Structure 1
Amino acid sequence: MRNSLRTKIIVWFIGTTTPLVIFLFYSNYYSMTVLHNQISNSKSSVLYTFVSQADRAMKEASNYIYKYLDKEQDIYLLRDYAKDSDEYVLNQVSITNKLTKDIGFYNTIDAFFVYSQKNQDLIFAVQDTSMEITRMINQEIPRFVQNISPEKLKNWQVVQTATGYAIVKIVSVNEDIYMGSWINVGTMMAPLQDNKGNVDERYYIVSDEGQILSNDEWLISKSETLPKMMVELADKSYQIMKDTENKQNYLVIGSKSAWVPISFISVIPEKSLLQNLPYFQTALYFIPIGSLLILSVYLLFLRRAFFLPMTNLMNGMRKIAQGDLAFRLKESRVDEFASLIGSFNDMISQIKHLKIHVYEEKLRVQTAEMKHLQMQINPHFYLNTLNIIYYLAALKDYKTVQKMTMHLAEYFRFIMRNNRNFITLEEEVRHIRNYLEIQQMRFPDVLETSIQIPDVYKTFEIPALIIQPFVENAIIHGFQKRGKMFRIHITVAPDPVHPEQYFEVRIQDNGVGFREETLTYFMANDSSIDAGDENHIGIWNVIRRLKIVYKGQAQIKLFNGSDGGATVQMRFPFIKESQNKGEDERV
């Protein structure tokens, strides 16, 4: 599977597209970083300008307070007069007129004030003379002055009012009199709001502790993340704030004031900065999915145009290798595969015809070999019989010679009349009886034979002269102890392993048995052995004929019995006479 063409194409496609996708993501990240830096630098410059203006206004207000305390004496006289005296009232009017006149030079200052803690009297001048501002000044300044700690005097402080937040500077004139300046956060924010270049951009003033100095509900909902963000803004030019509600990112840029613990921050939606880039970002995330879809479509196309024809071709090769020469591949719509499949089918047809031709030629060769082997047996038996007749004639046993000659004539008459490859077991046994009677005529007192064949097996067919050579071999090679009774037993019985398919023929004698080299030679089961020793040409012919005729279904075993003597055990399949009517023409 790892070396398949399909796997290699997928790996190649992934290996090609993955670096491109990684490069696209990195390019997007780098572009976003550059854009954030550029926007933060631009907005930081704007914020720095406004923070500088606010710091300058607070510095000028502080200088005014100290200058007033240095040059004007009327503020010190408030302590010397009773609150209801004419001198106190005139001094109060003088301070009010002076503050009202001077506040016009400080546009970003909402109020200058003088507060007498002893008399609970507040003198102030405001830019906006509305009742709301006046009421707020009258309520908040006395409360703040009364609650302020000594260590916070002289520094600008952030105070919370009933309506919002303010920046306050208070200077203690003496134990009773205080002078200060008041700036509403809204007044400080006004120039920034008028300078917004983006309708979605928002400006805020936030304390160093992350306290939001405005009533903006949206930013107040993010108050949990602001303290940490304000700390990080001190080291970085910008921060990214994530809104979990609308799933948007915001670019946060800040600039810190040098006179008061506050920072001016700008909050810009990342979407408005990128304009159409979010669509490209979204498309960027779909690129891997699109790549997988393209790969799927591409593989589907390859499957239909390439893999299926290739798989069919490989399956066809496997079927041909298994011997199914009738298999043919279906035609393909792809021209290249159509040509290849056509050539493949033609090749299989030629192989099939060639195999049939080779098989037929092999049958002809086997038939010729079979006839040749059978012709070798016939002269062999004939010569042995003539040899016996010769000895009988030498002994002038003419009656026995006549009987043996009749047996021999009957044998050759049968061969010439039938000329068949298969005969019944009964016919084979009849030939063997004739042969054994001839041998008993030769050795009347020392040769004893017995043949046991059940009637059920008499009609089964076997190759002609397939048993007789072993009987002859027993007489020639086993019968060497002339003074001892030589016995030959031939039995036919069912095969002990597969009695329903095979029967067994056993030829057993009590002679000298097989030599070890003879057993080794014939039991090698090698079809390449030749006739070898001419004394055993009959046995070799039988073994070779069994291999040709039965294709391995028949078996033959040669061994020596435990009490001595040779034993030949032959196994034949059940074949009746009707089953071999056409066999003589085929084999």
Structure 2
Amino acid sequence: MRNFVGKFRNLSIKRKLIISFSVIVVFPLITSLLLSNNIVTNFMLDEIASLNETSINDSSKVLNRTLDDMAYTLLNISNNSRVRELLQDDNVNYKIQFSKIQRYVKQKKFDDIFDNIPISLMTYNTSITILGEKHFDYGNWEEYSRYTKEMKQNAWYKEIIKSKDMRIRWIGVMPGVENKDNYFFEAAMPIKISNSSLTRVGVVHIRINEKDIYKALSSNNETNEIYLLQHNGEILSCKNKDEISKNINNRLNVTKINENLGKSYIDVDKNGKKIVINSVSIDKGDWILISLVSYEELVAPLTSIKNILLLINLIFMVSFLIVALFISNIISKPIIKLRMSMLKVESGDFNGKVEVQSEDEIGKLSQNFNNMLDRVSELLVLTKEQERLKRDAEFEALQAQINPHFLFNTLSSIRWAAAAYGDKKVEDMVHALSILLRASITNGQEMVSLESEINILKNYLDLIQMKQGTTIIFECNIDESIMKYRIPHLLLQPIVENSILHGFEDRNEQGVIRITAIAAEDLLKIELTDNGKGLQGDTLDSILNRESQALDDKKYYKSVGLKNIHDRLKLIYGQNYGIDICDGEKNGTKVTLYMPFQKGGEHIADSNAGR
């Protein structure tokens, strides 16, 4: 199952959709076709079997009615007092030679009796014969007298003469005495002198042509074969007269016929042909009436119906598959186009936008892909521009590094020359300047220890004092545990420079610069205060936003330095950090720097950069 699911997942969207349509539509359609065919076939076979059963029952009723009429006729003649008198008279006077007129009169009397037989038998070619025990016989058919002697030689006649019972003998189907090619249903019973006597005076015999009987039996079964059988399988009546008196066992299994009396079943004849068989028992003659119909002929209409249903279902399935292909193409085509565009992008071609043709999920996905391409293209242009600017900056930085190194080497030469000539002041100034210049060369190190920054401030103040001939008091109140903390390079010097240039200008009072550092929880606060003029009405916002001032405005240079420091802190540590500017407690200005602090850490900027 997992292998199947895995293979299905690897199929294309189009194939998945086609398979899904097949599973959802085609397979149920095929299943319903098979089930409907099976149901319709069984239903129609049951209906046909029911019709055959009804038909064979109707035929059995016709035969039973005919046999009832034959029995009634036999009983009516056997119990007729006039018949008994005539036959008894013949037996008494059989030695007397009757004239032709006397014989005619007696025959006429019997003709009147024969005319009273049931109407139903009149539809058949019914032959009635009265066989006297002596010489005289009577009948209602021509030339009967020529065949009565032969009839008295049959086993059934002898059995009736010897027997003492008065029951009807159903002889069955016998060939005609006058024509062996014709077969007749025959029955007979004895005629006694009276109801209380067992003395016989003759036998009454009745026969009906088998063709007439078969015609009546098959009137309701024109498409079926009708057989009248003995229980042993001997054929009494059928369509093919050559089969009469033969055994049906040559074609069908007689045992199965007897086992399935009154039922409908399917059997295979000796030729391998499937036959639907219905049977019913005929009690009077102890016979079996069966109806045979070819299974192929029965299912031929079903086959036509099946073929029509199959054709209709095939048309539906082909239509469904065409619709499935159409729908799958509609769904999969935009996905295929999107995939091709992605392959182009993968190969480096960012111009392969997808044509958006719908507003569904795929259309929105295509639109998002196009938007992404536009954004990527913009980022590529921006990246290229940034790369160009970076290369230009790196080139300028390389050039800029040449000048400080050149100046540093030149200052070293001047210092050694001043030392050689014994000018101590010049030597000290050049030495201090050299240290500042060396500190400005970062060599790629953006972060330095707080202790290094303090040393830079001290050298800068020394240089300023030697230059101006003044004294500036520098007070540093920082715990040694904080001195190793790393801060951005040259962060404090511009603030001190602002204090000297703007705070101490035109002041006779000795300048004082104090620096303190306090670490509280995760915040490092560095405060630089001076005793200069103070802000004189300026605020932090006014100082930081004073970018449009003229380049020769001193306030402009003051704001640029502080703004650079403020922006550097935000860029390195995040928007929550920066500087604050306010008046001192008594006079002067206080600048406070806020940076993140981690106890025991030396370079917290690594984890906070770009915040």
In the superposition, the TM-score normalised over structure 2's length comes to 0.44
Q: TM-score, normalised by structure 1?
A: 0.45
